[in-house]
Amino acid sequence: MAVVEAFRLPLSEDLSGFIALLRRLRVPCRVSEEAGEQVLRVPAETVEQVRQLYQRYPQGDGMVVTEQPARRGGGFFASLRRSPLTAAVLLLTFIVAAITLLGGNFETIRWFSFTDFRIDGDYAYFATLEQTLSEGQWWRMITPIFVHFGLLHLAMNSMWYWELGRRIEQRQGASMLLGLTLLFGVISNLSQYAFGGPGIFGGLSGVLFGLLGHCWLFQKVSPNEAYRLPPGVVVLMLVWLVICLTGVVDVVSFGTLAIANAAHVGGLVAGCITGVVGGMLARRA
């Protein structure tokens, strides 16, 4: 099946509605960025019909597009079935939150922390990373992402993982989401340990900044509907990162809330790299 160029449009043109219309009509299509323009390619035998359709419905047919969720149907539980890995990661996160009492049970937290530790009176003694790895405790490279401190910490991170994880799982598959989650988890944990030293830290936020960077730059390099984030989301997350880096949050919370800034930055940088690479590969596909 020969695939040809249907038309070119400026990057500022929102094609999401029209792409949704084509998918609803089961017309194969691919959008890529070339020379500062969006290029829509479709099978050669459909190109004239697609051009005529765009003339009539450049923003998509509202009636057709709004029928799509209803056709897929099923609400929340259907979303779980369509995103099993995203749901599984969140389930594991909730289980760890329960057995660690949301950061209150240090006897169980020590099994998930980046390095082992023991508490003696008012002091905590941590093993080194070298000791941890020499004892074969490799699981600690990833397990801190499942530890959360407080209900708000858990709720916010879970909400964002559900939003970003589903996009990647449905666009690039469960294996890609698993690989990115593990990669960003290890990188963010290592970054926090390298810059913050031994300590108790945790949460999905380093992974979330990685997933955000991945979706953001993947969409820039290879525009697609799945990774088109709501307006202002990227700006909001980056502003929050900058605020955390200034130390304002630590001051306002009187030291009761420590932000793992190195984990956030490490995850974001890694996500931006995978987003660019993934987008370039998608354009060549």
Contacts from 77-83 at CB under 8 Å and sequence distance 24+? Answer: 79/166, 82/166, 82/170, 83/165, 83/166, 83/169, 83/170
Residue with token string 């294996």: 175
Which residues are 3's β-sheet partners? 43
Residue tagged active-site, from 148, 153, 214, 264? 264
Q: Any residues with CB less than 8 A from the CB of 74 and at least 6 apart, and which? A: 81
Catalytic member of 205, 214, 222, 253: 205
The whole-angstrom separation of Cα 87 and Cα 93 is: 10
Residue 34 contacts by C-beta under 8 Å, 6 or more apart in sequence? Answer: 8, 283
153 is catalytic: no
8 Å CB contact between 177 and 123: no
C-beta separation of 226 from 176 below 8 A: no
Within 8 A by CB and 6+ apart from 237, the residues are: 209, 212
32 annotated active-site: no
Nearest to 6 by CA among 36, 45, 37, 50: 50
Report how far residue 5's alpha carbon sits from residue 265's, in angstroms, rounded to the nearest whole number. 39
At residue 168, what is the residue type?
A: I
Residues annotated as part of the active site: 205, 264
